[in-house]
Amino acid sequence: MAVTRNADAVAPVRSSGPFSIWLARHIGTAIGSLGRLVRHPFSSLMIVLVIAVTLALPAAINLVVKNARSISTGWDNALDFAVFLNQGLSESEAEGLGRLIEQRADVDSVEFISATQALVEFKEQSGFGQALDQLPDNPLPHTLVVRPSPGNNGPSMVLLQEELTNLPETDHVQVDTEWVQRFHAILDIVRQAVAIGAALLGIAIVVIIGNTIRLDIENRRNEIEVTKLLGATNAFVRRPFLWTGFWYGLLGGLMALALVYYGLFLLQGPVERLAGLYQSNIAVAAMSLVEAAAIVGVGVFLGLFGSWFTAARHMRRIEPR
């Protein structure tokens, strides 16, 4: 008997794999969780705004410290010793003394500034050129700018200062190291304080998201009981709350970035005017891509952790009656 083929026969459909099913469920849950936030725009916006401000505050302070450090890198010459020599010292004797000091192991370089050169620079920068021209003699001495070696520590710097001061050709030694060291010490303290404050604010974000998820769980208690009655596991019931925490963290991190960048935009004009007054090229350093991604990543992590901790704690207490 001939075998006929039925044109209306439907070929068997190959079922999707476990990963496809898992991915489809998570996509559907993520969209549903986002939809719940959109249906309550005011309350969702308030929570996202609180998270954004909490994340933006330490990020902004850290950015201020970063800019302060970048500016202070141009103050390396403040670590030099300005050795003002006696008035009666000739230019050749001053140059010879500079070469002698440069041979020291704790000295990196020595720059000689003659009295004539110093007077010319002072006339150009002070604006008192005509008044200085009326002086019978040049009041400025020869100067040696001594730059210590990078390997110097605090005691060796003090010793170098004392030995330069005790030279018979030296009239005065000016050192500007202390205020620079204090400035860097203050920046280190601020950085540590920012780290501690960021940790405390991170705990605050976990508490905020956890409390929000807890209220959401209580509002959906009957739904959870029915779902568990039908055989759903705690992991299945917990999934939408995890996605809710994810969206809170993600949106809060993105809004934090927007706040920080808006603050940088507001500061750009005043910083440019200040740089113009000092004839400097000071510019506000923005966040790097890694730092921006870290803010968003921290927000997502805290959102997921806060929602998971709260959902796992309360989900075990809800059982069908």
Q: What percent of the chain has pLDDT over 90?
A: 18
> For residue 153, what are the contacts with CB-CB under 8 A and spacing of at least 6?
none
Beta bridge partners of 170: 85
Q: Name the phi and psi angles at 176, rounded to 5.
A: -115, 30
- pLDDT of 178 above 50: yes
Tens digit of each residue's pLDDT (9 = 90 or more) over 249-263: 999 999 999 999 998
- pLDDT band for position 7 (cuts 50, 70, 90): very low
Which one has a higher pLDDT value, 241 or 236? 241
Number of C-beta neighbours around residue 21 at 10 A: 11
- CA 249 to chain CA centroid, Å, is 19
CA distance 26 to 238: 12
Instruction: Calculate mean pLDDT across residues 129-135.
Output: 59
Tens digit of each residue's pLDDT (9 = 90 or more) over 197-225: 889 999 999 999 989 888 888 888 888 87
Please, what is the average pLDDT of the chain? 80
pLDDT of the residue at 253: 93
**Can you give the residue ranges of every domain in the chain?**
30-74+182-315, 81-175
- What is the helix (H) or strand (E) element at residue 170, kind and residue range? strand 170-175
- Global pTM reads 0.63
CA distance 172 to 85: 7
pLDDT of the residue at 297: 93
CA-based torsion, 55, 205, 289, 72: positive or negative = positive
Number of C-beta neighbours around residue 307 at 10 A: 30
Quote the DSSP letter at residue 78: G
Tens digit of each residue's pLDDT (9 = 90 or more) over 67-122: 777 665 555 555 778 888 888 788 888 888 888 988 888 888 888 888 788 777 76
Instruction: Calculate mean pLDDT across residues 42-66.
Output: 89
pLDDT of the residue at 321: 64
Taking alpha carbons only, the member of 295, 303, 300, 316 closest to residue 213 is 303
pLDDT of the residue at 133: 60
CA distance 303 to 55: 12
Q: 81-175: which CATH architecture?
A: 2-Layer Sandwich (3.30)
- pLDDT of 5 above 70: no
pLDDT of the residue at 216: 86
pLDDT of the residue at 185: 79
